[in-house]
Amino acid sequence: MRHNLARGKLSALAITASGYTSGEHLTFYQSDRPIDPWHRFLRRAVPSAIGIDHIMASSAIPFVFPARPVRVHGQVEWCGDGSMRQLAPISPAIHLGATRVLVIGTGFHDDTHPEKREEDPPHPSLAQVGGHALSSIFLDGLSMDVERLERTNFLLSRGGQGPSRSSPCGGWTCWP
């Protein structure tokens, strides 16, 4: 990563983790140019020399892998899976200068299928409740952020000139 940043093949990299110590969603980032850290509600960016500790913390799935310590401004922050508390998963890419974003989700964008519901469904099983809870922890943020991105692009495309259905940036593109 450092080699690719130095050679200009990669302009920036972000690794996210959920901070158990602070309760914040942390984005550790490294860039080939100065980028001011950002701080929003329950999320914070931390300029870092990305290393194995960040990657291990980001992939520490709760109850499967142990929390990992990462130094944040000289103090230990215990971290877990980066998809938890990820309220705006596309945000780091935009903050780091992306002008186009390709989103590849791991869940279904709209899997409600009201026409397939039973009239009087049975009481939900423990597995169904657990699956619902895990989906809300790990998957829901991306769908909401994609909707927010599409809405923002639509509003930007209108530009005060009346209704318009096209986005000036294209499908998965937005302006920082």
β-bridge partners, 18: 25, 80
pLDDT: which is higher, 158 or 14? 14
Q: Give whichever of 118-127, 135-144, 152-161 has the largest mean pLDDT.
A: 118-127
Which single residue is written with the structure tokens 């080939």? Answer: 32
Average pLDDT, stretch 49-60? 95
Under 8 Å CB-to-CB from 72, ≥6 apart: which residues?
Answer: 19, 22, 26, 46
| 104 and 82 belong to one structural domain | no
Which single residue is written with the structure tokens 């302009």? Answer: 11
Domain ranges, residue 136: 99-109+123-176
Burial class (CB in 10 A: 0-12, 13-18, 19+), 12: middle
| 12 and 82 belong to one structural domain | yes
| 64 and 104 belong to one structural domain | no
Structural contact between residues 167 and 156, judged by C-beta atoms closer than 8 angstroms: yes
159 pLDDT higher than 50: yes
Is 114 within a domain? no
| 67 and 105 belong to one structural domain | no
Average pLDDT, stretch 41-69? 93
| 166 and 132 belong to one structural domain | yes
- Encode pLDDT of 4-45 as tens digits: 877 888 889 999 999 999 999 999 999 989 999 999 888 899
Which single residue is written with the structure tokens 């230990």? Answer: 76
Is 129 within a domain? yes
Is 76 within a domain? yes
- Encode pLDDT of 69-92 as tens digits: 999 999 999 999 988 877 788 889
Q: Is 123 helix (H, G, I), strand (E, B) or coil?
A: coil
Question: How many structural domains does the chain have?
Answer: 2
